């Protein structure tokens, strides 16, 4: 079972000026809808790749037990070295929402994919920025192991996981730890643990106080939130106290799953490519901006986006919005390539120059580096003839039927022209000369 806790975007108490924030008196206890949750019996569908090469996507579904609103009062920080306890009121009075999921996930990869999908949904709806590193989304993972067909084992809770990558590692580590414990004749304790990202393992925090950590009490000042759709709305209900689900649903933007389906339908790209576009911050908009500005087909554009741009972004820990190469510049580069003015190898060189962010356009770089393709037919024929004259052994092999050797001659011509020769045109010239 995995639960998610995130800060609602519209409540800004934690951003108050220091003097005003100090005057906010915390409730002294946690407020929760645990007994009367805002929603029950839901589900979340998420997709993930079954191998590292993204050759196949699978879609899974995890049941949502309930969603409840909460409000933190603060937390205690115990300093054993100084024998003192500090009180952290940083999130006191901040509205939170907890999503509690059923035990339908079996590994860290499943949990990470489900959290990422939830994060995308929250960001799309504007409910929360859901930035885990800033405490806007945290995960508590309850992990237990058991043999197939047997009841669930004793569970441990890994508390306050603050990154999707750490979530996957924490869950997988905890699974293996519990298996080793049981295989060695030990027992799994019902305890709360923390994930140590530096050591890559979970460490004990505290024992569970009975079946759960908290003693929930009803909050008399917060009435239940009433949700209805058009079919189930009673006639005598006070409409000021009711949230109309249908009204909200009509105004929702496209959710991530819908975005992926539209990308596949509109641009003819592969489902796994749409998955990456949507999952990476700002990459969908970047891709669509490039497609609008270039003559290259989307199926070819996606290769440059995922293989070249995304790899550079990840290498430098950047998002698409922070890329030194704008969609305008990349589109300009792809237009040069599509028109046959530069070769693919030259385009790679131009891309590297653009990444330096020196303010030059693709065309300026091509002229400066002399990367344009040789358009003079006579010049290419002379270069091809020179290569043929110097490679009697290869020429003989081709004439004897080993046609694959011509690729070597094409490579030599391209080397002589520093990649400025169109390989298709070079092949035509070589074939013609060798047949004479």
59 shares a domain with 94: yes
Q: Give me 67's structure tokens.
A: 């969603």
Choose the final residue of a domain: 176, 207, 238. 207
CA distances from 175 to 108, 159, 172, 250, 382 (A): 9, 15, 5, 42, 67
The answer to whether residue 238 sits within a structural domain is no
304 shares a domain with 192: no
Check if the beta carbon of residue 434 is closer than 8 Å to that of residue 398: yes
The answer to whether residue 227 sits within a structural domain is no
Predicted pLDDT at 316: 95
Tell me the per-residue pLDDT of 301-317, one tens digit each, with 9 for 90 and over. Answer: 999 999 999 999 999 99
Q: How far apart are CA 331 and CA 325, in angstroms?
A: 10
The answer to whether residue 220 sits within a structural domain is no
Work out the widest C-alpha separation in the chain, in whole angstroms: 97
356 shares a domain with 280: yes
- CA dihedral 253→68→73→93, nearest 10 degrees, is 30
Which 3 state secondary structure label does DSSP give 373?
coil
414 shares a domain with 337: no
The answer to whether residue 416 sits within a structural domain is yes
191 shares a domain with 112: yes
The answer to whether residue 213 sits within a structural domain is no
Predicted pLDDT at 428: 81
202 shares a domain with 163: yes
Instruction: Tell me how crowded residue 243 is: count the other CB atoms within 10 A of its CB.
Output: 11
Spatial CB neighbours of 23, under 8 Å, sequence gap ≥ 6: none
Domain count, the chain: 3
The answer to whether residue 241 sits within a structural domain is no
The structure's pTM equals 0.78
The answer to whether residue 226 sits within a structural domain is no
Tell me the per-residue pLDDT of 250-295, one tens digit each, with 9 for 90 and over. Answer: 899 999 999 999 999 999 999 999 999 999 999 999 999 999 999 9
What's the rounded mean pLDDT across residues 121-137?
89
Q: Give me 329's structure tokens.
A: 């510049």
136 shares a domain with 274: no
131 shares a domain with 27: yes
138 shares a domain with 266: no
400 shares a domain with 266: no
32 shares a domain with 131: yes
Q: How far apart are CA 260 and CA 16, in angstroms?
A: 38
Q: Looking at 126-254, list the stretches that DSSP marks H as alpha helix, in order from N- to C-terminal side.
A: 164-183, 245-250
Q: How far apart are CA 392 and CA 387, in angstroms?
A: 9
CA distances from 414 to 151, 317, 374, 411 (A): 67, 35, 11, 5
Predicted pLDDT at 166: 95
Q: How far apart are CA 435 and CA 398, in angstroms?
A: 10
The answer to whether residue 30 sits within a structural domain is yes
Tell me the per-residue pLDDT of 322-353, one tens digit each, with 9 for 90 and over. Answer: 999 999 999 999 999 999 888 888 899 999 99
319 shares a domain with 266: yes
Give kind and range of the element (H or E) at residue 296.
none
Domain residues for 397? Answer: 377-434
What CATH number is associated with residue 398? 1.10.10.410
Tell me the per-residue pLDDT of 107-126, one tens digit each, with 9 for 90 and over. Answer: 999 999 999 999 999 999 98
Q: How far apart are CA 295 and CA 337, in angstroms?
A: 10
């Amino acid at each position: 079972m995995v639960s998610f806790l995130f800060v609602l975007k519209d409540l800004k108490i934690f951003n108050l000026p220091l003097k005003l924030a100090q005057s906010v008196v915390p409730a002294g206890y946690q407020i929760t809808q645990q007994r009367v949750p805002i929603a029950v019996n839901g589900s979340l569908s998420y997709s993930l790749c079954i191998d590292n090469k993204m050759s196949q996507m699978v879609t899974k579904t995890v049941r949502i037990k309930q969603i409840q609103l909460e409000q933190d009062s603060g937390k205690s920080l115990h300093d054993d070295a100084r024998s003192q306890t500090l009180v952290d009121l940083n999130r006191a009075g901040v509205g939170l929402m907890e999503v509690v999921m059923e035990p339908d996930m079996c590994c860290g990869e499943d949990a990470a994919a489900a959290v990422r999908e939830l994060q995308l949904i929250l960001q799309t709806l504007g409910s929360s920025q859901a930035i885990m590193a800033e405490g806007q989304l945290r995960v508590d993972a309850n992990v237990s192991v058991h043999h197939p067909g047997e009841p669930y084992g004793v569970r441990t809770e890994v508390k306050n996981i603050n990154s999707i990558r750490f979530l996957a590692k924490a869950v997988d580590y905890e699974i293996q730890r519990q298996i080793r414990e049981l295989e060695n004749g030990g027992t799994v304790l019902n305890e709360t643990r923390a994930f140590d990202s530096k050591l890559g393992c979970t460490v004990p925090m505290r024992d569970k106080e009975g079946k759960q950590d908290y003693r929930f009490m009803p909050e008399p000042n917060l009435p239940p939130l009433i949700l209805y759709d058009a079919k189930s709305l009673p006639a005598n209900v006070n409409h000021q106290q009711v949230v109309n689900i249908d009204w909200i649903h009509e105004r929702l933007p496209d959710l991530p799953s819908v975005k992926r389906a539209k990308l596949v339908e509109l641009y003819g790209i592969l489902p796994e490519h749409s998955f990456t576009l949507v999952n990476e911050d700002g990459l969908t908009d970047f891709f669509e901006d490039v497609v609008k500005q270039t003559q290259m087909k989307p199926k070819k554009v996606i290769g440059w986006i995922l293989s070249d741009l995304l790899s550079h972004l990840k290498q430098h820990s950047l998002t698409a919005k922070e890329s030194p190469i704008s969609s305008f510049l990349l589109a300009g580069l792809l237009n040069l390539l599509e028109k046959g003015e530069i070769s693919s190898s030259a385009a790679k060189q131009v891309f590297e120059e653009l990444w330096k962010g020196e303010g030059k356009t693709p065309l300026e770089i091509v002229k400066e580096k002399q990367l344009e393709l040789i358009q003079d037919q006579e010049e290419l024929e002379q270069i091809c003839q020179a290569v043929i004259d110097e490679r009697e052994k290869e020429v003989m092999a081709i004439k004897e039927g080993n046609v694959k050797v011509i690729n070597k001659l094409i490579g030599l011509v391209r080397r002589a022209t520093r990649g400025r020769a169109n390989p298709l045109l070079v092949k035509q010239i070589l074939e013609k000369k060798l047949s004479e």
